[in-house]
Amino acid sequence: MIVLIAHLKGGVGKSTITVNIATELQRQGRDVLILEADPTVRTVSNWAKDREENGHPRIQCVQQTGNLHSVLKDLDKRYDVVLVDAAGKDSKEMRTAMTAAHVLLAPMQPNQTDLDVTESLVETIEQARDFNPELRVLGLLNRASTHIFATDVKDSRAYLDEYPELPIANTVVYDRGAFQKCMDDGRGVVEMKDRKAMAEIQLLTQEVMAW
């Protein structure tokens, strides 16, 4: 199974979501590989290196740029799940990965800056489906406010209802300190003590794999 984690905008939390889904899949006993498709930022490969150096179970991470279609088709035969972490922009890597992926997971923060890109993202998805009509798409509200009176999730869902081509996950991932901590030392939140963060990733992973 190939899962592409991508968006046209940077800073939406793609790499954090990628490594946490990978860690949960590994915990489940799945053979998982992360393909880092950003030629300029090495967030995931640095995390994987820190993970191994800190004595946590190794998660295979490779870097690849350019046309990813054939590479992903080959990796799909060798691993249970291949997670692709694409750059936060429109790129050759993202577009060619869309032609091979089974699922596109599109994280976005519940704020107007991220939501304003939705129309362009939907257009890109529709173009990819000309080559991969079976591509399943799932949006994710990420880094949502934990404030008890916050309405960012509700407001964002109402806005995104105008784009049925981009269904939104039932799971919401909130802005929790555990997510930054896990990136610092090569862990996933499922290996930490924040039960709320752990539950969010476990539910999200279940939803993505079922999608």
Could you tell me the residue ranges of all domains in the chain? 2-210
Half-sphere exposure of 209 (CA within 13 A, CB side): 16
Range 109-121 average pLDDT: 96
Range 54-60 average pLDDT: 96
| pLDDT bracket for residue 41 (50, 70, 90) | confident
Q: Sort strands 60-63 and 32-37 into parallel, antiparallel or unpaired.
A: parallel
| Percent of the chain residues topping a pLDDT of 70 | 100
Q: Which residue is associated with the tokens 């934990």?
A: 146
CA 32 to CA 44: how far, in whole Å? 14
Q: Which residues contact 108 (CB under 8 A, 6 or more apart)?
A: 7, 9, 12, 114, 115, 117, 118, 139, 140, 141, 142, 156
Number of neighbouring beta carbons within 10 Å of residue 178 = 21
Give 88-114 pLDDT, tens digit per residue.
999 999 999 999 999 999 999 999 999
- Range list of β-strands (E), the chain: 2-5, 32-37, 60-63, 81-86, 103-108, 136-141
CA 34 to CA 101: how far, in whole Å? 13
Q: Which residues contact 3 (CB under 8 A, 6 or more apart)?
A: 21, 81, 82, 83, 84, 101, 102, 103, 104, 105, 208
Q: Which residue is associated with the tokens 């820190």?
A: 50
Q: What is 2-210's CATH number, 3.40.1260.10, 3.90.180.10, 3.40.50.1780, 3.40.50.300? A: 3.40.50.300
